[in-house]
Every structure is written in structure tokens, then in C-alpha cells.
């Protein structure tokens, strides 16, 4: 098993290309192997010399759905840690903003650009990297590896940035090259898990994403007062090094890319025929530039022309942006009101981890006890298709009330005469409910557009990150001018307005999807 994982990884493929060792061979390359040896052949002859390459039957071990549970778990672990590092790096220097302001003589709003531009960068990156991962000759792994190598290298000049402008530019690039996992990560998980097991894998991935910023604030909150704000960049580097090694050992998960490699192996063995995959046949009448251009336009088309996806992206952008306002609100509450030091304020972010953990347990119990048994029953008796995409939004019908409750409690309970635990309960409630909302969305998107999951995730990630970038900048003046209570009330009101949209999407989403101008045309 370990040998197969290594063979299918980026590093294994590089070794195969250079040395072609006997112990990294595929069945097609072994002596005496035939297309029907041990398999049901699915190679169909077309036009004489053209052969379509498909799976060797339903139990083909190279099909990601047929991988062992260990190999699938390895994919989730690597994607989860990869995403954790990228998200942890976003706010990690925030506890040192005062020192940053003093060193470079910038305003509080300008010092926030180090976070805002990083968030904008990792929102823009997937628009380039995500769709390209759906092109068979690229696959998922190539964008992961190349971009994260650059991300890791950028940690070094960022830590030595001689000016505020230079730091901002490097942070933007750092976020950009760390971004592929944020969109393609969900697609990679969808590649290997079916509809009944996918929710568990997705919750593990989203849990890493949600907890990462809080952990970043915790570790930097204690380190920066002693070692300086630049040390936070070295913390990113220390976390990114192991992640890069893991990414090099991540097996390719894209089915079209795996089949493309199989076609190349068969072509090498037999030059008398031309071996092509179905996707290559489909794209044979388009130039490479046309394929790339269409892959880049796909997320924009789906987002703007499908009303269901458009609403989902707007709503999640709002709750995600509010999440990032906490990095400005926390100092005003815990340091100004309760007189915490930087380390203690970083520890307060653990409330996000606590809320997310509670939500993770409840959400998985719901899927285990309710959703999956109901979906399996529907699948086997009445409807021989995958579960209705809108069914995954059911938990959001309850969770959509939580953000407003959490914001009101956090904003108005922050008072010297009220114990700090009370507003912290609002922080437990908010991310716990947003976790369910985001998890529902991350299941809804690939269910609606399975063939373009990475593209749609990319567009969704860009909208969320663009709003979060603005939220980081406007949140400080918002809370200073309106107060923490007034600012939280304004944000809570916006989330309340969106509650009706969640209910409409859950019960009328199918009708909205039928009105989509792109459904079935991509």
C-alpha cells in the first residue's frame, strides 16, 4: 500500500520519469500483462486505430473510489495539514501589529494590509490554479507542488522585508501561491469519497481550515512579545516544511488525470494504436489555449448564471468576512476591556476551536444517524441516483440562526462588569454554526457540479476572500466608531437577512438550478 501511494505521488512520478525503477511499475508495464489479465477490459475500438481508455471494470484499483480506506485517509490528512498551514499563516503576524506600526511608521489600517492582502491573494489564486487542476494533463498534484514550493520559499524574504510595501507585496504573493488547496482541496476529497462517506472527510478538512487561524494567533501571541513580529514568518516556514514533504507524497486523485497517464503507458507499450481518454476525445477539437481559457471562464459562468450558487457564495462570503473581523475586535474586547496580554488574547481564540469541535461532533452524529441512512434508503428503493443536492443543506436550517446569536452575545456582553467568559460564549457559538453552514456548502457545490467542483470552489473562495479582505480593513473603524456592540449588531443584522435565503434554497433550490443558464452546458 505504501509503495502504491509513493508510486502515485508527485515524487514517485518524478522518479519513474527519471529512473523508471522496476518496483514502481504499473500493471500495463509488467511483462506478460494484457488488458484483460485479471480485469474486465473497457477499451473500446473506434475508427480502427483509436482506442478509448477507461477503468478495467468496476473494481479497478486505480479508480480513486476503489482505493483503500488507508490511502483515502492519507489524502485527507495531507490536504488537511496543507490547508491548516495556509490558513494558519493568514493572521499569524496580527499580534505583532503594534510593533509593525512602530517599525515602519504606518497607521493601524495600513498594518492590517498584511492580513488583508494575504487573504485576497489566497482568494485570487484558485481562479488560476483550481480550473487548471481539472485539465487531465495537469491533474491536482502539479498545481499543489509548484505553488507550495514557491509559498515555502517566500517565507524567507517575507521575514526579512525591509519596508512595509515590500512586506505587503510578499504577503500577497504568499497568499496567492498558498491558495490551490483552498479550492482544489475540496475537489481532491470529492475525487476519492462517494456521497455517503464524503461528509465525514469534508468535515475533517473544514475543521482544519476553521481551527488554523485560532492556532496561528495562539502560537504567535506567546512568541511575538519575546522574539518579535518577524518570528511569525519563521513559524510559517517551520510549519510549511513538513507540509511540502507531505504534498510531494500525495497521490494524484483526479480520475481524468489517472486515466490520461494510463493512456500514455498503453501508448508506450503499443504504438500500433492511438490511446485516448474520453475527456481527450471531447477536447480533441479544441486547442490547448481554448481548453485553458474555458477552464478559467467556467467558475465565473457558473457563479454568475446559476442563482443557487450565486446566493450560496454571497451568504458564505458574509459569514466568512465576519469571521475575520474578530482579529480586529478581539484586541478591543480582551485587551482594552479585560486587560489581557497578547498571549492571553491568543488563548481566547481557542474558543473558536472549542465551538468548531462541538459542532464537528454534532454534525457527524447527524450524518451518521439521520442523513446517510435516509439517503441510502432513498437511493435503493425509490430513486436510483445520488442524493438530492439540497438535502445536504438541512443542518443549515438550524445553524443559520447561530451567527446572529453569537455576534449579539459577543458584542453586548463585553463589559468590565461582566465576566470575560460570557462574550467568549458568543465566540463559541458563532464559529460552531458557521462551521455547519460552510460544511453544507462544501457538500452542496460538488453535488451540483461534480465535473467542475474545483472551478466552482475557486469562484466561491474568491468571493469569500475578497469580502474578507475588505472586512479586515473596514472592521477596525467599524468597531471604533460604532463600538463593539454596535458593530456586531450591524453584522448580525446582515446574517439575519440571509436566513430566509437559506430556507428558500433548501426547499426551492432544485427549481433555481433548473433556471440556471449553465446547468448541463459545461
In this predicted structure, what is the pLDDT of residue 497? 83
- Range of 395's domain? 64-253+290-376+387-515
* Any domain includes 462: yes
* Any domain includes 167: yes
Euclidean distance between CA atoms 180 and 142, whole angstroms: 10
Q: Is 283 left (phi over 0), alpha (psi -120 to 50) or beta?
A: alpha
In this predicted structure, what is the pLDDT of residue 29? 75
Q: CB within 8 A of 285, min separation 6: which ones?
A: none
Euclidean distance between CA atoms 46 and 256, whole angstroms: 19
Euclidean distance between CA atoms 116 and 469, whole angstroms: 4
Q: What is the pTM of this model?
A: 0.85
In this predicted structure, what is the pLDDT of residue 39? 41
Q: CB within 8 A of 65, min separation 6: which ones?
A: 192, 193, 194
Euclidean distance between CA atoms 379 and 385, whole angstroms: 6
Q: Is 266 left (phi over 0), alpha (psi -120 to 50) or beta?
A: alpha
Query: Is pLDDT of 111 > 60?
Result: yes
Q: How far apart are the first and last CA of the chain?
A: 36
Residue 382: pLDDT band with limits 50, 70, 90: very low
Written in H, E and C, the secondary structure of 171-207 is HHHHHHHCCHHHHHHHHHHHHHCCCCCHHHHHHHHHH
The closest alpha carbon to 389, from 309, 448, 305, belongs to: 448
The closest alpha carbon to 440, from 334, 353, 363, 351, belongs to: 363
In this predicted structure, what is the pLDDT of residue 48? 57
* Any domain includes 220: yes
Query: Is pLDDT of 381 > 50?
Result: no
Residue with cell 482505493: 67
Per-residue CA distances from 350 to 87, 162, 377 (Å): 15, 33, 39
Query: Is pLDDT of 36 > 70?
Result: no
Query: Is pLDDT of 385 > 50?
Result: no
Task: Note the pLDDT tens digit of each residue in 470-495.
Answer: 888 888 888 888 899 999 999 899 88
Residue 187 sits in a domain of what CATH number? 1.20.1250.20
Contact 219, 346 (CB under 8 A): yes
The mean of the pLDDT values for the chain is 84
pLDDT: is 110 or 134 the higher one? 110
- Show the cell assigned to 430: 458563532
Could you tell me what percentage of the chain is helix, strand and coil, using 3-state DSSP and rounding each to the nearest 5?
A: 75, 0, 20
Task: Note the pLDDT tens digit of each residue in 42-86.
Answer: 445 555 577 888 888 888 889 999 999 999 999 999 999 999 999
The closest alpha carbon to 62, from 254, 198, 194, 258, belongs to: 258
Contact 466, 123 (CB under 8 A): yes
Query: Is pLDDT of 118 > 90?
Result: yes
Query: Is pLDDT of 195 > 90?
Result: no
* Any domain includes 21: no
CA 220-224-228 angle, 5° bins: 140
Contact 94, 220 (CB under 8 A): yes
**Residue 342 burial (CB count, 10 A):** 22
Euclidean distance between CA atoms 404 and 280, whole angstroms: 48
pLDDT cut 90: percent of the chain above it? 32
Written in H, E and C, the secondary structure of 371-422 is HHHHHHHHHHHCCCCCCCHHHHHCCHHHHCCHHHHHHHHHHHHCCCCCCCHH
* Any domain includes 262: no
pLDDT: is 300 or 321 the higher one? 321
Euclidean distance between CA atoms 351 and 205, whole angstroms: 19
In this predicted structure, what is the pLDDT of residue 309? 81
Total number of domains constituting the chain: 1
Residue 123: pLDDT band with limits 50, 70, 90: confident
In this predicted structure, what is the pLDDT of residue 237? 95
* Any domain includes 427: yes
Euclidean distance between CA atoms 78 and 80, whole angstroms: 5
In this predicted structure, what is the pLDDT of residue 41? 43
In this predicted structure, what is the pLDDT of residue 454? 65
Task: Note the pLDDT tens digit of each residue in 331-346.
Answer: 889 988 999 988 888 8
Q: 346-382 burial string, b = 16+ CB within 10 Å, else e?
A: bbbbbbbbbbbbebbebbeebbeeebbeebeebeeee
Adjacent-strand bridge partners of 275: 51
* Any domain includes 228: yes
* Any domain includes 315: yes
Amino acid at each position: 500500500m505504501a509503495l502504491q501511494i509513493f508510486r502515485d505521488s508527485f515524487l514517485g512520478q518524478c522518479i519513474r520519469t527519471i529512473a523508471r525503477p522496476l518496483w514502481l511499475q504499473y500493471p500495463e508495464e509488467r511483462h506478460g500483462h494484457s488488458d484483460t489479465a485479471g480485469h474486465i477490459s473497457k477499451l473500446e475500438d473506434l475508427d480502427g486505430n483509436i482506442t478509448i481508455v477507461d477503468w478495467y471494470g468496476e473494481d479497478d484499483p486505480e479508480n480513486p473510489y476503489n482505493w483503500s480506506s488507508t490511502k483515502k485517509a492519507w489524502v485527507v490528512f495531507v490536504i488537511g495539514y496543507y490547508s491548516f498551514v495556509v490558513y494558519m499563516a493568514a493572521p499569524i503576524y496580527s499580534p505583532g501589529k503594534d510593533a509593525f506600526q512602530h517599525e515602519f511608521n504606518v497607521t493601524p489600517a495600513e498594518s492590517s494590509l498584511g492580513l488583508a492582502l494575504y487573504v485576497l491573494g489566497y482568494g485570487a489564486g484558485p481562479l488560476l490554479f483550481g480550473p487548471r487542476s481539472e485539465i487531465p494533463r495537469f491533474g491536482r498534484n502539479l498545481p499543489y507542488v509548484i505553488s507550495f514550493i514557491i509559498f515555502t520559499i517566500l517565507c524567507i524574504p517575507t521575514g526579512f522585508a525591509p519596508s512595509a510595501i515590500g512586506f505587503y507585496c510578499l504577503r500577497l504573493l504568499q497568499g496567492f501561491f498558498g491558495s490551490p488547496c483552498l479550492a482544489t482541496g475540496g475537489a481532491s476529497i470529492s475525487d476519492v469519497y462517494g456521497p455517503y462517506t464524503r461528509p465525514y472527510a469534508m468535515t475533517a478538512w473544514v475543521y482544519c481550515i476553521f481551527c488554523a487561524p485560532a492556532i496561528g494567533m495562539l502560537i504567535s501571541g506567546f512568541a511575538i512579545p519575546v522574539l518579535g513580529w518577524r518570528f511569525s514568518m519563521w513559524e510559517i516556514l517551520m510549519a510549511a516544511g513538513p507540509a511540502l514533504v507531505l504534498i510531494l507524497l500525495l497521490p494524484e486523485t483526479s480520475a481524468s488525470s489517472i486515466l490520461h497517464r494510463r493512456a500514455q503507458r498503453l501508448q508506450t507499450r503499443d504504438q500500433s494504436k492511438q490511446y485516448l481518454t474520453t475527456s481527450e476525445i471531447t477536447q480533441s477539437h479544441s486547442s490547448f489555449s481554448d481548453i485553458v481559457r474555458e477552464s478559467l471562464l467556467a467558475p465565473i459562468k457558473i457563479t454568475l448564471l446559476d442563482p443557487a450558487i450565486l446566493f450560496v457564495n454571497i451568504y458564505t462570503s458574509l459569514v466568512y468576512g465576519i469571521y475575520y473581523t474578530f482579529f480586529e475586535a478581539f484586541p478591543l474586547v480582551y485587551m482594552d476591556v479585560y486587560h489581557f496580554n497578547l498571549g492571553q488574547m491568543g488563548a481566547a481564540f481557542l474558543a473558536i476551536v472549542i465551538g468548531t469541535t462541538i459542532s464537528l461532533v454534532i454534525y457527524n452524529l447527524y450524518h451518521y444517524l439521520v442523513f446517510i441512512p435516509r439517503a441510502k434508503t432513498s437511493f435503493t428503493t425509490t430513486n436510483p441516483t445520488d442524493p438530492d443536492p439540497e438535502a445536504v443543506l438541512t443542518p443549515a436550517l438550524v445553524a443559520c440562526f447561530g451567527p446572529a446569536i453569537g455576534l449579539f452575545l459577543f458584542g453586548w456582553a463585553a463589559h468590565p462588569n461582566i465576566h470575560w467568559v460570557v462574550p467568549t460564549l458568543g465566540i463559541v457559538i458563532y464559529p460552531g454554526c458557521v462551521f455547519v453552514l460552510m460544511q453544507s456548502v462544501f457538500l452542496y457545490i460538488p453535488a451540483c457540479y461534480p465535473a467542475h467542483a474545483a472551478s466552482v470552489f475557486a469562484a466561491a473562495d474568491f468571493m469569500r476572500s475578497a469580502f474578507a479582505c475588505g472586512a479586515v480593513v473596514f472592521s477596525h473603524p467599524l468597531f471604533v466608531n460604532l463600538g463593539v456592540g454596535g458593530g456586531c449588531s450591524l453584522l448580525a443584522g446582515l446574517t439575519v437577512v440571509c436566513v430566509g435565503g437559506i430556507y428558500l434554497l433548501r426547499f426551492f433550490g432544485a427549481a433555481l438550478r433548473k433556471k440556471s443558464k449553465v446547468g448541463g452546458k459545461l
